[in-house]
Amino acid sequence: MLLRRRCPWCNANLGFGVQLGSRPSTKGPRFHEFSWFRVARNIAVCPYCSKPVKSSSKSQRWLLLVFPVILLPLFELFTMDDKGRQTVPVPAFLYWVFVAVAIVGGIMTAVTIHFEKEDDI
């Protein structure tokens, strides 16, 4: 089946991964995960074998196709004049194209994602 995602440790079917558990990591936070409120980061664990798993970063790159939908309203906001009129009008067709590209990115992320072992030792 297309949506069968297997645990890399015990080979159990995790489906979409919504039933993954979480627990604090034994490692400290990385330099880019610094936070004043949280010292340890949580990691996803398999509900069957309780070993750490992570989703593949290659499949999450498809989510970059969502950014044009986010950036287009910001573009319109910054191209308004003092009276609220658009100085550079964006055609409505462009919105539909960007929404379609974002939907394709979401679908491709859901189809290509798989789980990998995470080193938590």
pLDDT value for 99: 94
Q: Please, are residues 52 and 44 in contact by the beta-carbon 8 Å criterion?
A: yes
pLDDT value for 42: 80
Let me know if residue 1 belongs to a domain. Answer: no
pTM over 0.75: no
Let me know if residue 8 belongs to a domain. Answer: no
109's tokens: 């992320």
pLDDT value for 5: 83
Let me know if residue 6 belongs to a domain. Answer: no
Let me know if residue 16 belongs to a domain. Answer: no
Let me know if residue 10 belongs to a domain. Answer: no
Let me know if residue 86 belongs to a domain. Answer: yes
Domain count, the chain: 1
Q: Please, are residues 41 and 25 in contact by the beta-carbon 8 Å criterion?
A: yes
Distances, alpha carbon 44 to alpha carbons 39, 50, 72, 110, 121, in Å: 17, 9, 34, 17, 14
Domain limits for position 98: 21-117
**Residue 89: half-sphere exposure toward Cβ, Cα within 13 Å:** 4
Q: Please, are residues 5 and 115 in contact by the beta-carbon 8 Å criterion?
A: yes
pLDDT value for 82: 80
d(CA 47, CA 39): 24
Average pLDDT of each block of 10 consecutive residues along the chain (121 residues)?
A: 77 79 74 62 85 86 90 86 81 92 91 83 52
Let me know if residue 41 belongs to a domain. Answer: yes
Let me know if residue 13 belongs to a domain. Answer: no
Which residues contact residue 101 at a Cβ distance below 8 angstroms, ignoring those fewer than 6 apart?
65, 68, 69
